[in-house]
Amino acid sequence: MSAASSSNPPSSSSSSSPSSLSSSSADGPPNVVQREGATLDTPRRHAHKFGGSSLASAAHYRSAAGLLDDGASSRWVVVSAMQGVTDALLRLVADARAGRDWQADWGALQQRHIEAAALLDSGDALSSQLHDEFAALHGELAALAAPVDGAHDPGHALPGLGEVLSSRLMHAALGGDAAGWDRLDARDVLVTQPGELGCAIDWPATEALLAQWLERHRGTQVVVTGFVARDGQGRATVLGRNGSDWSAAIFARLFAAELLTIWTDVDGVLSADPRLVPDAVRLPSLSYAEACELAYFGAKVLHPQTLVPLQQRGVAVRIRNSARPDCPGTVIGPDGGAAARHDDGHPHPVKGLSLVENLAILDLSGSGMAGVPGTAERLFGALREAGVSVTMISQGSSEHSICCVVRADQAEPGRAAIARAFAEAIEAGQAQGVTVTPDICVLAAVGDGMVGTPGVAARLLGGLAQARVNVRAIAQGAGERNLSVAIAAGDATRALRSAHSAFWLSPQTISVGVIGPGQVGRALLAQLASSTFDGHDEGIDLRLRALADSRRMCLAAVRLDPADAIARLADAAAPGASVDDATTALDLDAFAAHVRAEHLPHALIVDCSGNDAIAAHYPRWLAAGIHVVTPSKHAGSGAWSRYQAIRTASAAVAGRGHAQFRYEATVGAGLPVIQTLRCLLDTGDVLLGIEGVLSGTLAWLFNRYDGSVPFSALVREAMALGYTEPDPRDDLSGTDVARKLVILAREAGCALSMDDVAIESLVPEALRGVSRSEFLERLHELDAPMQERLLQARASDRQLRHLARLELAAGEVHATVGVSSLDGGHAAVHTRLTDNLVQFRTRRYADNPLVVQGPGAGPDVTAAGVFGDILGIAQTLGAQA
């Protein structure tokens, strides 16, 4: 669980938006957190807290001051130290204690504050105050070199000076006393006392001191130091690292605030750490319970103790980004809205996912433990005596074993303590001993919406199974708002991403990579750009994340817009390019690894390249669970061994519902040729033969060729119309048609290869090895042979067509490609100019073949065939495409 950082500079003119809170009565604290989009009331008493990242410079202080103009009648502002100052003070203390030189760093820290003061206050008063504070710090650091007498550490409170200095800077940025602002040093009123669970607030003493302070001050506009306090003996102390949030909550309660806004460098609480989960979304609202769970499990936005004072009075807290004040942030209150919609506009039962790392599992097992009262008490009593904190507990109903998750550095002391407590049982064989499983992390799913919602655990465990993550232990309390699983640390990122996708993404979210932005690839990108699938209402999210040509590839962290993907490939710095996107030299292994993102449920590569070397990668991609779609004929008609490898890889993975190999566009572009053949065979029909016009170019040539113009003239016209390949011999050779016939034969179960096809080339032997330019100069040499064949056909009242034939009879396979003389009743004689036509003659369709006919060439129809394969895969995954 985390939040997204922002590097945007602060705006000095920004102001906060209205609060997210309405009061339940005229005087009492609020008890209703308003949803986004509702009419929001302005709180009368508004507490603010600014983190160090929001106070990094004088400009940030000015920007923060502008954010306070929210219409509230009373405002208290709690400040952290300037960014990096607390760390600097800790280093000064450490250096002073160790006898190292700290003078230079002390001087640099003083100069930083003096320079900020000069920009915020034109007078000398503020600089003089800061000089006095640093002079006192200098004396205290010098004294640290002496041995410490007694239990009190004189350097313990020094890191709190950063907040004291910051409060003076903020007071000046707001106009100081002249503008009606008071400054409160929390050490004057905030009293702490030791407690069983650590540092606690002495509320009676604190309230009494605050009342005395208020008697001497106006108390309606106050700047307060965070982090610092005094103990019961009056000695300065601090509330613990990141305790400024806790300070803000304490003073919000003391101030009887209706809302506490914590200004930081994040947009709010996110559903997961965005550094690990690129699809993490902002959570508009959380309940106190949800926020407490997430804070305990490592959410970086809130100090775990922050909510305690607020819950007692029902005060809501809002997390907002000081650099992006227009963002509404996250509201935390009594009611987080179990059915609230997140930034993606859709409800989710789980609000957030967190990881706790550096853990280990302690497991005590033994048949003699079953049904024995007090086993758990002995185990946890032993851990308590050893000072070991337990993160998670799991025990099966058989009572054969009980395990708990502890911090990794406490695993060995915990193991030893349990072993001592159960020494007799272990010696007697009633318990098998204590085992330690290191390198464990706990993944927690948190949300009020989980309560009473069936299937939450199934979705979580299903997502982990999809990512091949093994669950070592699982725990869920009766409250149902936290489901935790212990997993191997090495699986942490993959598990978090898969769990996030299980709850926040469409189950049919597909990570797509396209290779080959040629004519077909560009047409496909255009069709993807114009599609309307949004991942929820349509049940499918086609997410283009990678594009490659023969030299480069562009990899997007989240998604590429298909409309400008080609421009992004050409220029990584194209307008709108994400800093997470990268254009680099083509690396097919890296390309496939990126497409097979661990945080997305499915992956698909579309190969529009027509490159035989790329087809060689298909078996590896399919074996990795990546679907493959292609209009390229190389895989389907290439080496038989590679074809078998592709089929084997696809079949092996398909049993788990993962990878599919689809290639409908290889034969008839957008025509359902392979789909029709597959349907015939799957329903028990028997294929007897196939005849077809399988080239749009050759179909056009022979539909036009009637002897009125030379055949060579038609070839030149087809070139001008863009119907042919750059070298027309690629069409006239018949090789492309033969590849399509091999693909159909293999689909029918025939072990056919290109060498088994009798191919008639229309290119004379003398022209096959010459250059393209020479071939075009001698193109007229095709005319006489073709004219003779035309006359022979007409003499028998027949017509010429380029035809592919596959005959299956008596266990033998005969495949031919070439020009045929057909009578007027043949379907191929009646096709339109560039139509493809395939006749299936089967046992059911023996006398009247089944015909598939239509446009079989052109980038748009071919891309449509590819798109149809993509949607077909999505439908098998459950999408209603």
Q: How would DSSP label each residue in 762-831?
A: SS-GGGSSS-HHHHHHTGGGGHHHHHHHHHHHHHTT-EEEEEEEEEEETTEEEEEEEEEEE-TTSGGGG-
In the predicted structure, residue 804 carries a pLDDT above the cut 90: yes
Every domain range in the chain assigned CATH 3.40.1160.10: 12-265
Question: Strands 221-225 and 74-79, how do they pair?
Answer: parallel
Which pLDDT does position 767 carry in this prediction?
A: 95
* Rounded Cα distance, 593 and 466, in Å: 16
The residues pairing with 604 across neighbouring beta strands, listed in sequence order, are: 512, 627
Residue 345 has pLDDT above 70, yes or no: no
pLDDT over 90 percentage in the chain: 58
Answer with the residue of higher pLDDT: 570 or 230: 230
CATH number of 352-503: 3.30.2130.10
Which part of the chain has CATH 3.30.360.10? 674-857
Three-state SS for 473? strand
Buried b / exposed e along 435-460 (16+ C-beta atoms within 10 A): ebbeebbbbbbbbbbbeeeeebbebb
Q: What is the pLDDT of residues 805-858, one digit of tens each?
A: 999 988 889 999 999 999 988 999 988 888 999 999 999 999 899 999 998 777
For helices 58-66 and 103-120, give the axis angle rounded to 10 degrees. 40
List helix spans (H) across 9-99: 58-66, 85-98
In this predicted structure, the answer to whether residue 21 has a pLDDT above a threshold of 70 is: no
Which CATH number among 3.40.50.450, 3.30.160.110, 3.30.565.10, 3.40.50.720 corresponds to the domain 508-665+865-880?
3.40.50.720
**390-416 pLDDT per residue, tens:** 988 988 665 578 899 999 999 999 999
Model confidence pLDDT, tens digit, residues 88-133: 999 999 999 999 999 999 999 999 999 999 999 988 899 999 999 9
12-265 CATH choice from 3.30.70.330, 3.30.450.20, 3.40.1160.10, 1.10.10.10: 3.40.1160.10
Average pLDDT, the chain: 85
pLDDT of 762 higher than 50: yes
Q: What single letter denotes the amino acid at residue 626? A: I
pLDDT digits (tens, 9 = 90+) for 602-630: 899 999 998 999 999 999 999 988 999 99
Q: What is the pTM of this model?
A: 0.68
Q: Is the dihedral of CA 520, 599, 535, 573 positive or negative?
A: negative
Could you read off the pLDDT of 210-241 as tens digits, one per residue? 999 999 998 899 999 999 999 988 899 998 76
22 has a pLDDT exceeding 60: no
Q: pLDDT at position 577, please? A: 44
User: What pLDDT does residue 34 have?
Assistant: 38
Count of alpha carbons within 13 Å of 560, Cβ hemisphere only? 31
Q: Do the beta carbons of residue 446 and residue 354 sit within 8 Å?
A: yes
Q: Which long-range contacts (CB under 8 A, 24 or more apart) does 719-728 make?
A: 723/696, 723/697, 723/834, 723/857, 724/697, 725/697, 726/772, 727/772, 727/775, 728/775, 728/776, 728/779
Joined together, the tokens standing for residue 176 give 């100081």
More confident residue, 373 or 806: 806
| Residue keyed to tokens 């250096």 | 95
| Distant-in-sequence, close-in-space partners of 722: CB < 8 Å, separation ≥ 6 | none
Which of 146-155, 729-738, 751-760 has the weakest average pLDDT?
A: 146-155
Domain spanning 674-857, CATH class: alpha beta
Residue 300 known to be catalytic: no
In this predicted structure, the answer to whether residue 382 has a pLDDT above a threshold of 60 is yes
Query: Mean pLDDT throughout 732-752?
Result: 95
What is the C-alpha to C-alpha distance for residues 688 and 18, in angstroms, rounded to an integer? Answer: 76
Side chain identity, residue 682: D
pLDDT of residue 40 exceeding 60, the answer is: no
pLDDT of residue 478: 65
In the β-sheet with 602-607, what is the strand arrangement from edge to edge?
582-585, 552-555, 541-548, 509-515, 602-607, 626-629, 661-662
pLDDT at 35 over 50: no
Question: Band of the pLDDT at 878, cuts 50, 70, 90?
Answer: low
Q: What is the mean pLDDT of residues 49-72?
A: 93
Nearest to 877 by CA among 371, 477, 507: 507
- Assess whether pLDDT exceeds 80 at residue 646: yes
Q: Going by C-beta distance under 8 Å and a sequence separation of 6 or more, which residues neighbour residue 279?
A: 500, 501, 504, 505, 558, 599, 600
Q: How confident is the model at residue 678 (pLDDT cuts 50, 70, 90)?
A: very high
Q: Is the pLDDT of residue 877 over 80?
A: no
pLDDT of 723 higher than 90: no
Q: What is the DSSP string of 220-255?
A: SEEEEE-SEEE-TTS-EEE--TTTHHHHHHHHHHHT
**Looking at residue 297, what is its pLDDT?**
58
Distance, CA of 48 to CA of 248 (rounded, Å): 7
pLDDT at 3 over 60: no
Which part of the chain is CATH 3.30.2130.10?
Answer: 352-503
Higher-confidence residue: 599 or 52?
Answer: 52
The active-site residue, picked from 49, 300, 633, 740, is 740
Residue 761 has what pLDDT?
A: 96
pLDDT at 451 exceeding the cut of 50: yes
Cβ–Cβ under 8 Å, residues 77 and 45: no
661 vs 658: CA distance, rounded Å: 10
Structure confidence by residue, pLDDT tens digits, 121-178: 988 899 999 999 999 999 999 998 776 655 567 788 899 999 999 999 999 999 999 9
Tell me the CA distances in angstroms from 533 to 536, 539, 543, 627, 691, one per residue in order.
8, 8, 10, 19, 38
Helical packing angle, 125-143 and 161-173, nearest 10°: 180
Percentage, residues of the chain above pLDDT 70: 87
Using an 8 Å Cβ cutoff, are 606 and 528 in contact? no
Q: Are the C-beta atoms of residues 268 and 58 closer than 8 Å to each other?
A: no
pLDDT of residue 507: 63
Which one-letter DSSP state was computed for residue 111?
H
The winner for highest mean pLDDT among 250-264, 265-279, 390-404 is 250-264
